[in-house]
Amino acid sequence: MTERVYRIALIPGDGVGKEVVPAARRVLAALPLRFDFVELDAGWEVFERTGTALPQRTASVIRSCDGAIFGATQSPSQKIEGYNSPILALRKQLDLYANLRPIVSMPVPGSRPGIDMLIVRENTECLYVRQERLEDNGNTAVAQRVITRRASERIARKAFMLARARRREREIGDWRLEIGGRDVNLQSPISNLPISSLVTIVHKANVLSLTDGLFREACLAVAREFPDVQVEEQIVDSMIYRMIREPERYDVIVAPNLYGDILSDAAAALVGGLGLAPSANAGDAFTLVEPVHGSAPDIAGKGIANPCATILAAAQLLESLGEGAAAQRIQRAVHRTLADNIWSADLGGQATTAEMTAAIIERLSD
Ligand code: NAI
Ligand code: MG
């Protein structure tokens, strides 16, 4: 039997994207798996050169790949005619409806211990449909918020399936507990029994009873298909408060687009910051992973960007391809590197991008 070759699109983009995506490529290439990497353009630089931020070749070649790693693109702060964010376009074109952000304790001074949660953010609608208009001679601005039953049920199903998968992973032994991840014997918020998976539905249905009401109702309907997974709901403002006070009690959190965006940036601050925060944009047939951070123009070109967020994102991509063991090898190697005090400047250390990457590769076989 011939071994499977994974065809992976690499879209470095701008700024530190050009440093951290090659780092993730080196880590993948060091694994005992076969990859065919395809480099594709997107972003500000290619826009300045060619007049388009997402060249046709990128949009079409990516479809022939098994998954993609995106770095970051630089966006102009004012509206520039013809410039559209390539990541938003790709999410839409490939129907990447779920944004998955794992928030896991890290062995660095800026991280709190005992945290292992996954934020599942709806990625296609809510206020991000960007239907805004001015009325009243420009004195009133109105934004439309769209919530559909279809998108809400789809994201809820993803969240519950992932909650199940995470529990199975913990049952076969969780290495994350070694480094202070949360214990599986969480108390059920309803029954006081120990439970092993929990989905928290986030909304503001007390105020927005139609839009958030529909999201809540759709999620609760899906919950009935998963009697083995505990479910709870929480209003978004108190959710942020409680997540910061007691992050270790959460497992999977599902939220509409805007709340999920805000929650996940707040959560990243609990576990060591942007240099360590990965995310995946997942559809049913395709996953595009990226670091949460942007192009970091203040440090771009200096060789000091933290590659961990993108390397952990590459692990998420492997998970989506069914290569869970390889994904865990990467996650473990990143944790061991950080535990050995090999830190880039954003974490308070002096390691360069190349040094951190080499240290992670060295620890892949541990
Ligand atoms: P940013 O995430 O690029 O940088 C924020 C701060 O974090 C900076 O001090 C930066 O040096 C630091 N930082 C970010 N990544 C780092 C890394 N890997 N290692 C060490 N330090 C790191 O956010 P900012 O400054 O608001 O945006 C810069 C540009 O990036 C803008 O043009 C923005 O539009 C774009 N951006 C793109 C995103 C994407 O492509 N998905 C996401 C966020 C911002
Ligand atoms: Mg954000």
Q: Compute the Cα dihedral for 285, 318, 28, 33 and give only its sign.
A: negative
Locate the ligand 1 atom nearest the alpha carbon of residue 85 and give its number. 40
178 and 236 housed in the same domain: yes
Q: Compute the Cα dihedral for 43, 46, 49, 54 and give only its sign.
A: negative
What pLDDT is stored for residue 365 in this prediction? 86
Write down which residue in 270, 303, 325 finishes a domain. Answer: 270
**CA 294 / ligand 1 centre spacing (Å):** 3
What pLDDT is stored for residue 169 in this prediction? 78
Q: Whose CA is nearest to atom 16 of ligand 1?
A: 275
Is the C-beta atom of 18 inside 6 A of ligand 1? no
What pLDDT is stored for residue 179 in this prediction? 47
Q: Phi then psi for 123, rounded to 5 degrees?
A: -115, 5
**CA 102 / ligand 2 centre spacing (Å):** 14
Residue matched to tokens 């292992």:
116
**CA 265 / ligand 2 centre spacing (Å):** 6
For residue 176, what are the CA distances in angstroms to 307, 312, 351? 20, 14, 24
Write down which residue in 270, 302, 317 finishes a domain. Answer: 270
**% of residues, the chain, pLDDT over 90:** 84
Domain membership of residue 234 as a residue range: 112-270
Is the C-beta atom of 103 inside 6 A of ligand 1? no
> Is 240 inside a domain boundary?
yes
DSSP classification of residue 66: S
The residues placing their C-beta within 5 Å of ligand 2, an ion, are: 261
What pLDDT is stored for residue 187 in this prediction? 46
Mean pLDDT of 7-15: 98
Sequence-distant (≥ 6) Cβ neighbours of residue 247 within 8 angstroms: 103, 112, 114, 115, 117, 267, 270
Active site residue 284: no
Average pLDDT, the chain: 92
What is the spatial distance between Cα 350 and Cα 342, in angstroms, rounded to a whole number?
8
Residue matched to tokens 């692990």:
315
Task: State pLDDT tens for residues 285-329.
Answer: 999 999 999 999 999 999 999 999 999 999 999 999 999 999 999
**% of residues, the chain, pLDDT over 70:** 93
How far out from the chain centre does Cα 127 lie? 19
Active site residue 136: no
Sequence-distant (≥ 6) Cβ neighbours of residue 19 within 8 angstroms: 300, 301, 303, 305, 307, 353
Sequence-distant (≥ 6) Cβ neighbours of residue 309 within 8 angstroms: 20, 274, 275, 276, 277, 278, 291, 292, 293
Write down which residue in 270, 286, 307 finishes a domain. Answer: 270
For residue 16, what is the domain's CATH number?
3.40.718.10
For residue 157, the tally of other CB atoms under 10 A from its CB is 18
For residue 91, what are the CA distances in angstroms to 94, 97, 125? 6, 7, 11
40 and 54 housed in the same domain: yes
Closest listed ligand to the CA of 23: 1
Among 158, 204, 259, 346, the active-site one is: 204
Mean pLDDT of 107-131: 92
What pLDDT is stored for residue 184 in this prediction? 44
How many domains is the chain partitioned into structurally? 2
125 and 166 housed in the same domain: yes
Q: Whose CA is nearest to atom 15 of ligand 1?
A: 293
Sequence-distant (≥ 6) Cβ neighbours of residue 269 within 8 angstroms: none
Mean pLDDT of 195-203: 89
Task: State pLDDT tens for residues 274-286.
Answer: 999 999 999 999 9
What pLDDT is stored for residue 195 in this prediction? 53
Return the minimum-mean-pLDDT range out of 129-138, 164-173, 211-220.
164-173
For the entire predicted model, the pTM comes to 0.92
Active site residue 237: yes
Q: Where are the beta strands (DSSP E) in the chain?
A: 5-13, 34-39, 67-72, 98-104, 116-122, 126-135, 140-146, 186-187, 194-195, 198-203, 230-235, 252-255, 278-282, 287-291
What pLDDT is stored for residue 190 in this prediction? 46
Return the minimum-mean-pLDDT range out of 16-25, 103-112, 353-362.
103-112
Active site residue 128: yes
DSSP classification of residue 114: S
In the predicted structure, residue 5 carries a pLDDT above the cut 60: yes
Mean pLDDT of 20-43: 98
Locate the ligand 1 atom nearest the alpha carbon of residue 297 and give its number. 28
> Is 107 inside a domain boundary?
no
- 317: tokens are 């991509």
DSSP classification of residue 284: S
Among 36, 183, 228, 237, the active-site one is: 237
Q: What value does the CA radius of gyration of the chain take, rounded to a whole number of Å? A: 20
β-pairing, 5-13 vs 67-72, is parallel
**In which band, very low, low, confident or very high, does the pLDDT at 188 lie, cut at 50, 70 and 90?**
very low
Is the C-beta atom of 295 inside 6 A of ligand 1? yes
**CA 235 / ligand 1 centre spacing (Å):** 29
In the predicted structure, residue 178 carries a pLDDT above the cut 80: no
- 189: tokens are 């918020």
**In which band, very low, low, confident or very high, does the pLDDT at 129 lie, cut at 50, 70 and 90?**
confident
For residue 289, what are the CA distances in angstroms to 250, 351, 352? 23, 24, 23
197 and 255 housed in the same domain: yes
Is the C-beta atom of 275 inside 6 A of ligand 1? yes
What pLDDT is stored for residue 174 in this prediction? 53
In the predicted structure, residue 345 carries a pLDDT above the cut 60: yes
What pLDDT is stored for residue 52 in this prediction? 95
**CA 294 / ligand 2 centre spacing (Å):** 9
Strand partners for 143: 132
**In which band, very low, low, confident or very high, does the pLDDT at 112 lie, cut at 50, 70 and 90?**
very high
95 and 137 housed in the same domain: no
> Is 219 inside a domain boundary?
yes
Mean pLDDT of 132-153: 96
Task: State pLDDT tens for residues 56-82.
Answer: 999 999 999 999 999 999 988 787 888
What is the spatial distance between Cα 70 and Cα 314, in angstroms, rounded to a whole number?
10
